[in-house]
Structure 1
Amino acid sequence: MSVAKDLEACIEKISADIELQKEVLKKLELSKILVQRQLNAVRDPVARLPLEISSEIFIQSLSLARPELGSQNIPMLLLNVCNAWANIAISTPRLWAAIHIDFPRAESFKQGLEAWLRRAGNCPLSISLSGTFDPGVGGIIWRHVKRLKHLEVDLGEDPEPGNGNLIEILAGTSPGPLPFLETLVIHGLTNQDGSWGYSGPKILGLLRLAPNLVECMIDVDTVFDLLGTSEQLVLPCLRRLTLGDDFYADDEIFKYLSLPNLQTLHLPMQEVRHDDMIEFLQRSSPPLQDLIIGRGCRPSPIPFTRLQQSLRLVPTLTQLEIWGSKVEGIFSALAEYPTHIIPNLRSLTIYLCLDSLSPEFWTTVLRALSVRRSQLTYFKIVQQRSWFKEIDPEVCAAFGRLEVDGMQIYVGTDERNIISA
């Protein structure tokens, strides 16, 4: 019996020694890990840099791809390299200040999004959204709304009627104003049969939430139901407004806008009523400098007599780009009214939608450029290659003389400048 007890006691001692050695082994493994981290830090050039420099390197890596939540995407990928890199990433709020969200997302996404936005600290946020919007995710975004500086919304193609869209949801679920929002971009198309579009009042409602908006682009195929809207929307900080090539409104949006500091305006050719535009310019008196009218050729040209009235209201204009067919009146007006119609014009670009140009046309163009040569520094006129006809050598020579006087001139197609050739 005593022999059995001695053996049991021996086993217990051995077991205790094993547990002790296990603890020693754990400590040794931990020590090895810590020393290995120190060695990695010594060998890692990024870890040896001051935090300000290593953080800036990480921030520059964001240009490689859109920041999205996922282990294979920057900045999440940086967390998985090593502890040193993870510490740098977490200590760099600007690294987390932008995110793209492509719906739908799994339920677990919300937890990751909350952590992402917390890491951004007090940095201004840039958020882009696309797909079928999740109001739960929207609730997380709106909790950080006071830091939202840039917002891009992509409605996608052929959204299903009845499911709503991002414009509707954003305008209806925001808890209040977006006081620091500076940039708003809205992309999207109607469904293929054109049977419905995006609500004009909702777009105006979203703009109304952003009183300090600086830049806005609305690139949706159809905006409707503005009829009956009466309240004027004044955006005193808006500098740049772009309406997409296919923007359309049953009752023009310019009726309801006042933009007293607008400097850049890009708008479609066909769908802007010139009476509305004239009233808008008279009401806003903007210091407009850059105006683009139309993108792509349209079957119906702008009536220049109406456009001329608008141009008289923007004497500050320095850059003008027009797409159209009946453009002779532009050059006649430039020649005849050098002090009354865009007297400060520096750059003029014309995209022609014509199959032929008469000699008289080029005579008018050259007269306008000659009258404006002391102010105009850049002139470009482009015709579709399939329609382009060679210009008389004397006309080319006249353009060449204007170039000698210091004006930069481009005449031809997108592929070929016949003046330089």
Structure 2
Amino acid sequence: MVSLMEDENETLQFCSEAARAIERMNAQINRLQSMLTSITLKRDALRSKVFALRSSSALLLPTELWQLVFRLCLDVFPVISTSSTNLPPILLTHVCRRWRSIALDTPDLWSSLHIVIPKPSSFLLASKCEGIRSATDAFLDRSRDAPLSISLKARDYSGQAPGESPHEVEQILACILPHSKRWKHLKFRMPFSWLVTEATVELSSQDLPLLETVLMDDGYPPFLIGAPSLRQLSLEITAMQTVTLVPCGEWGKIQVLKLFWRHFELNDLFKILSQSTSLRACMVQLLFPSAVDTPLRMETIVMPHLEKLCLTANSGNNLRRILDQLSMSSLQQLYIREHSSLVELNTSLISSFQGFFQRSMCTILKLEIMIARSSSLSLNELANFFRSLSTLQELIIVENMHDDPFMDEHLLQAFTVTSPLIDVLCPRLSKIRFSDRFSFTEQTLLEFVKARSSPYHPSPNPQPDSISSSAGVNEPDSEDLTPLEFIFVRTPRPNFVSRFEKLNLKGVEVVMDSVARFSMISRNTGPSSKEIAIP
């Protein structure tokens, strides 16, 4: 009997323990099922994301299209300086494996570089220069065989050459000189003496087969002589001796020339221009004349291919002497600028302009004037000057605030005349830019725009006794008088732009004059173009 009761107790105990075990198992099963459900949901979401990414059109883009996008992301000259690690194309290699592969396999992404050497007083100069050299070597290696565009800046921020030995410059030159056969565009901002080294002396024309464009801050380095492809040249000349040794044939192959000249003599300028017979575009900035006033050459300098000319002179007399010496039959764009208050558009200068135009027999399409209008110049003389520009299509008048207004009430009224054609100033004019200095009324400006934007067209059947027919004898032909289409006015008058809304113009730009604001622009920014811009 006792044994039976013990068996029953054991059975009950077993059942109780088994029931608790079952409950624990059920709880564990519930937890696992919840985990399974959660994992399943995460899996499905991840699967959807992977599917979406794999089907993304961006990832399906061909490599060539990515290369085009990358090129559009780059500056013309990516900067290599102490703060260049976050700039393209280096940044492109940090995004993903494919972008890195594409960037490293696109040589022209690495073929342009603007190298900025720190000032000698910079903190940790040696370390910074070492980083710049490493980055330069990386660019040159990754560019493979692509033509190189190199800009090298080795001046301090004030534009003056550092006083210490340019050991850092020599090291950078040692990096880029072995690649001279790939140089295509070259810009050096450094003293001339720094370029005349043992390494550069060994360069010859055979080492520069691709070099097309050169910008130098200080003279004409000897290693450029004989470069077979050189066509664009920009020089800052502090003294004539830096260019006296240049053979005549060197100037004859240049098509785009920009001269920024200190301490000049006009005969030296004329010597260069007379030899530059292939020029298509030329810009000359003259600062300080030599103390020696030598007699000028008398032969006319004929430049048959020149289409664009920009002259910045330090005096009206020098500007007049230059114009009296030149003949340019292909000239289409002329820019005249001042470097001092000594340049004024006066009677003698207008006479030189008219003689230059008659001698050249050129077709001037664009004229920019940035010189003061002489107070002694009569309206009739100025009107005759513009009346002679019968082919002019675009006129730009730039004024300095310290000068008297160039465009005034009477001159604007003279431009308003549309009949007879012989009295019309610049009958082909379609674009004009000038400043509003309160020297004319709003009504006069509106009358000018209305008259020139919708010039009179004679009626097909004029009546002999009508007013229009009496004046119709001298009415301009619609083919001879071009409607004004674009006008740019810089004005301090508020709400001025609303006056032009209903006028028949394709383009209107009214800019409100305001206090000048200074923008913080990095001084280490590279050149914005590989070409020499004129003006």
Question: Bigger shift: 176-185 or 100-109?
Answer: 100-109
Which residue of structure 2 aligns with residue 290 of structure 1?
Answer: 308
Q: Does 1:351 align with 2:381?
A: no
Shift of 1:212: 1.9
Which residue of structure 1 aligns with residue 385 of structure 2?
Answer: 368
The whole-number CA distance in structure 2 between the counterparts of 1:417 and 1:174 is: 62
Q: Does 1:310 align with 2:325?
A: yes
Unaligned runs of 5+ in 2: 1-49, 119-127, 155-165, 338-342, 418-423, 447-535
Q: Does 1:385 align with 2:412?
A: no
Which residue of structure 1 aligns with residue 108 of structure 2?
Answer: 94
Q: Does 1:42 align with 2:62?
A: no
The whole-number CA distance in structure 2 between the counterparts of 1:62 and 1:252 is: 41
Which residue of structure 1 aligns with residue 183 of structure 2?
Answer: 148
Query: Residue type of the partner of 2:234?
Result: M
Shift of 1:405: 3.6
The whole-number CA distance in structure 2 between the counterparts of 1:236 and 1:322 is: 25
**RCO higher in structure (CA 8 A, sep ≥6):** 2
The whole-number CA distance in structure 1 between the counterparts of 2:66 and 2:434 is: 49
Matches within 5 A, 1:379-418: 379-389=395-405, 393-401=409-417, 402=424, 405-408=427-430, 410=432, 412-413=434-435
Supply the RMSD in Å over aligned alpha carbons: 3.9
Matches within 5 A, 1:71-90: 71-90=85-104
Q: Does 1:116 align with 2:132?
A: no
Shift of 1:135: 2.4
Query: Residue type of the partner of 1:343?
Result: C
The whole-number CA distance in structure 1 between the counterparts of 2:367 and 2:182 is: 39
Query: Residue type of the partner of 2:144?
Result: G
The whole-number CA distance in structure 2 between the counterparts of 1:227 and 1:236 is: 14
The whole-number CA distance in structure 1 between the counterparts of 2:177 and 2:254 is: 23
Which residue of structure 1 aligns with residue 285 of structure 2?
Answer: 268
The whole-number CA distance in structure 2 between the counterparts of 1:185 and 1:218 is: 6
Q: 1:45 to 1:147 in 2, by over 3 A?
A: farther
Shift of 1:413: 3.8
Q: Does 1:58 align with 2:70?
A: yes
Q: 1:61 to 1:392 in 2, by over 3 A?
A: closer
Query: Residue type of the partner of 2:366?
Result: S
Question: Bigger shift: 375-384 or 123-132?
Answer: 375-384
Shift of 1:113: 2.8
3-state SS, counterpart of residue 315 of structure 1: coil
**Aligned 8 A contact 1:171 1:205 in 2:** no
Shift of 1:90: 1.0
TM-score, reference length from structure 1: 0.70
Query: Residue type of the partner of 1:181?
Result: L
Aligned length: 354
The whole-number CA distance in structure 1 between the counterparts of 2:137 and 2:240 is: 36
Shift of 1:116: 2.1
The whole-number CA distance in structure 1 between the counterparts of 2:52 and 2:132 is: 32
Query: Residue type of the partner of 2:212?
Result: E
Task: Pick from 195, 199, 210 the counterpart of residue 180 of structure 1.
Answer: 210
**Aligned 8 A contact 1:254 1:280 in 2:** no
TM-score, reference length from structure 2: 0.56
Which residue of structure 2 aligns with residue 12 of structure 1?
Answer: none
Query: Residue type of the partner of 1:371?
Result: S
- Give the greater-gyration-radius structure (CA): 2
3-state SS, counterpart of residue 141 of structure 1: helix
Q: 1:389 to 1:120 in 2, by over 3 A?
A: closer
Q: What does the per-residue CA deviation read over 1:100-135, in whole Å, with 9 as the maximum and x for residues that have no partner?
A: 111255336445433322221222111110125532
The whole-number CA distance in structure 2 between the counterparts of 1:322 and 1:366 is: 18
Q: 1:233 to 1:171 in 2, by over 3 A?
A: farther
Q: Does 1:127 align with 2:150?
A: yes
**Aligned 8 A contact 1:153 1:166 in 2:** no
The whole-number CA distance in structure 2 between the counterparts of 1:175 and 1:41 is: 54
Query: Residue type of the partner of 1:140?
Result: C
Q: 1:111 to 1:407 in 2, by over 3 A?
A: closer
Which residue of structure 1 aligns with residue 257 of structure 2?
Answer: 241
Query: Residue type of the partner of 1:345?
Result: I
**Aligned 8 A contact 2:383 2:414 in 1:** yes
**Aligned 8 A contact 1:122 1:147 in 2:** yes
Unaligned runs of 5+ in 1: 1-37, 188-197
The whole-number CA distance in structure 2 between the counterparts of 1:149 and 1:66 is: 16
Query: Residue type of the partner of 2:99?
Result: W
Q: What does the per-residue CA deviation read over 1:206-240, in whole Å, with 9 as the maximum and x for residues that have no partner?
A: 441533222222235x2353597484342444221
Query: Residue type of the partner of 1:61?
Result: C
The whole-number CA distance in structure 1 between the counterparts of 2:407 and 2:244 is: 51
The whole-number CA distance in structure 1 between the counterparts of 2:297 and 2:149 is: 32
Query: Residue type of the partner of 2:429?
Result: M
